[in-house]
Amino acid sequence: MRREKGLKKIEKTFRIPLPEIRKFIRDFHSEMQKGLSGGRGSLKMIHTYVEKPKGTEKGRLLALDLGGTNFRVVALELKGNRKMKAPLIEKFVLKKKHIIGKGKVLFDFIADCIKTFMNKHNMPIGAKQKLGFTFSFPVKKKGIASGALLRWTKGFSASGVEGEDVVKLLNGSLRRKGLSNTKVAALANDTVSTLVARSYEDPNCDVGVILGTGTNACYPEKDRMIINIEWGNFNKLRRTSYDCELDEDSGNTGEQIFEKMVSGMYLGEVARRLAEDLLPKIRFPGGFKSEYISVVESDTSKGLTITNRLLKKLEIRNSKYADRKFLKEACTVVSTRAARLAAAAISSVVTRMDPHLSKRHTVAIDGSVYEKHPHFSNRVKAAIKEIFGRKALRIKLVLTKDASAKGAAIIAAI
C-alpha cells in the first residue's frame, strides 16, 4: 500500500501540466533576452559567427568531429542546389595518453589521423584544403575560426589547452605534420553543426537540438547569426527532492539544472534514486545507466522477463513482478517528464523566432536519448501538439544523425 501511495505521489510530483509548460516558455524567453542583452541569466546565448547556409555552396571539404574518445574525419562534396554526395567517414580512437597527457600530443595525433584519412582517400596532401572543426567542449568564440577552451569536460584533461585557442593548436599540429595547406576555416559545436547540416537540404530548418548524453540547442537570431543557447544551464524549473539531491551530489552543484532533468548523463541516476526510495530491498550499487531506462520501457514481455534479466545482470536476484512493474513505472515517470521539458524548450525557441507560428519550422535533433528511447520522440511530439493544437503541424521534428561532422564541413564552405 505504501508503494502505491508513493507512486501516485511521485507521478503527481513529476507531472508537467500545460500551465507549467506555459510558465516555462515565458521564463525561457525572459532568460534568452537577458543573455542576448548581456545581462546575468542562466542562458549564455553565445554568438557563433555562423549563419545558415543558402544551399548553393559548393566544394570538396574536410571536417573533424571531436567530442569524446571517438572522433571522426569526414570528406564531403557539396554540389549546390541543396544537394550533397554521401560523405566519406573514418572513425579514430583516442588513447589515454591523448586524453590526459599533453595537449600537443593530442593535437599531433589528430593531425596524423587527418593525414592518414587523406592518404587513404587519395586526397593531395599539398593542396589547399579547408577544414571544418566540430569541437564539442565549452569554448569562448572569438570569430568564425577562433575559440578558447573554457574547460575540459567528459573526462578530458590534456594539459596546455584550457584557455588556449583550439584552432591555433590544431593548425600548429597540421603544419608540423606536413599539412600546412590544410587549415581550419570554421569552428563550431555539435548543436550548430546539426542545424547547419539539416538546413543545407531543408530551408525551413532553423533549430538545432542535441538530446543525448548532454543537451543543447541553437537558432538564428534576427541578424541571421546562429546563437548557441547552452540551454542545459536553464534554471527556472520546479525541482523534486530527487533532483535537488542529485544536484548536491554532482560535481557542479547549482549548474546545468535543465540538463540534469533531461539528458542521458543524468536520467538513469534520477530513476535510480526514485526506485531505491520506494523499493527498500532493491539497490543498484553499480548505478543505473540511462540506457537501462530504454530497456525497461521497451519490455512488453509477460512477467517483464527482460527487465528481470537486466536486474540479474545488475546482481539483483529474486526480484518480484511487482518490483519490476514499479521500476518500469518509475522509468516512465522520469523519461516522460524529460520529454515534456524538452518539448517546452523547443517550443520556447520556435516562438522566440515566430510568436504566432505563422511559418513552418524544421527542428533538427541528434542524440541517443531522442533516437534510442522507445517513446521519447513521440512524447515530445505529443507535448508540442498539446501546447499548440493544430498549429503544431507547423513544427517538424527530424532525427538528424551524425550531422555534426557534415555541418562543420558546410560551415567551412559558407
Tell me if 297 sits within 8 A of 373, measured CB to CB. yes
Residues 67 and 168 in one domain: yes
Q: Is the pLDDT of residue 251 over 90?
A: no
Q: What is the CATH number of the domain that holds 75?
A: 3.30.420.40
Whether residue 202 lies inside any domain: the answer is no
The per-residue pLDDT for range 34-49, each reduced to its tens digit, is: 999 999 999 999 999 9
Q: What is the mean pLDDT of residues 219-228?
A: 95
The per-residue pLDDT for range 381-410, each reduced to its tens digit, is: 999 999 999 999 999 999 998 788 889 999
Residues 53 and 166 in one domain: yes
Residues 91 and 219 in one domain: no
pTM of the full structure: 0.93
Residues 221 and 336 in one domain: yes
**In the chain, % of residues over pLDDT 90:** 87
**In the chain, % of residues over pLDDT 70:** 99
Question: Can you give the three-state secondary structure of the chain, one letter per residue?
Answer: CHHHHHHHHHHHHHCCCHHHHHHHHHHHHHHHHHHHCCCCCCCCCEEEEEECCCCCCEEEEEEEEECCCEEEEEEEEEEECCEECCCEEEEEECCHHHHHCEHHHHHHHHHHHHHHHHHHCCCCCCCCEEEEEEECCCEEEEECCEEEECCCCCCCCCECCECCEHHHHHHHHHHHCCCCCEEEEEEECHHHHHHHHHHHHCCCEEEEEEECCCEEEEEECCCCEEEECCHHHCCCCCCCHHHHHHHHHCCCCCCCCCHHHHCCCCHHHHHHHHHHHHCCCCCCCCCCCHHHHHHHHHCCCHHHHHHHHHHHHCCCCCCCHHHHHHHHHHHHHHHHHHHHHHHHHHHHHHHHHCCCCCCCEEEEEECHHHHHCCCHHHHHHHHHHHHHHHHHHHEEEEECCCHHHHHHHHHHHC
Residues 244 and 292 in one domain: yes
The per-residue pLDDT for range 143-161, each reduced to its tens digit, is: 999 999 988 888 899 999 9
Residues 172 and 114 in one domain: yes
Residues 330 and 244 in one domain: yes
Residues 409 and 384 in one domain: no
Whether residue 265 lies inside any domain: the answer is yes
Q: Is the pLDDT of residue 2 over 70?
A: no
Whether residue 105 lies inside any domain: the answer is yes
Give the model's pLDDT for residue 278. Answer: 87
Residues 395 and 407 in one domain: no
- Containing domain of residue 331, as a range? 2-43+208-399
Q: What is the CATH number of the domain that holds 328?
A: 3.40.367.20
Residues 7 and 92 in one domain: no
Give the model's pLDDT for residue 402. Answer: 75
Residues 251 and 234 in one domain: yes
Q: Whole-number mean pLDDT of the chain?
A: 94
Q: How many domains does the chain have?
A: 2
- Taking alpha carbons only, the member of 411, 409, 414, 398 closest to residue 198 is 398
Whether residue 271 lies inside any domain: the answer is yes
Lowest mean pLDDT among 131-140, 172-181, 196-205, 215-224: 131-140
Q: What is the mean pLDDT of residues 311-339?
A: 95
Quick one: pLDDT band at residue 376, thresholds 50, 70, 90? very high
The residues, any chain, with a CB within 8 Å of residue 172's CB and separated by 6 or more, are 107
Whether residue 289 lies inside any domain: the answer is yes
Q: Could you give the residue numbers annotated as active site?
A: 154, 190
Whether residue 203 lies inside any domain: the answer is no
Residues 134 and 212 in one domain: no
Q: What is the mean pLDDT of residues 93-112?
A: 96
Q: Is the pLDDT of residue 374 over 60?
A: yes
Whether residue 286 lies inside any domain: the answer is yes
Give the model's pLDDT for residue 396. Answer: 98
Q: Is the pLDDT of residue 1 over 60?
A: no
Please, how many CA atoms are within 13 Å of residue 71, restricted to the half-sphere of its CB? 26
Q: Is the pLDDT of residue 71 over 90?
A: yes
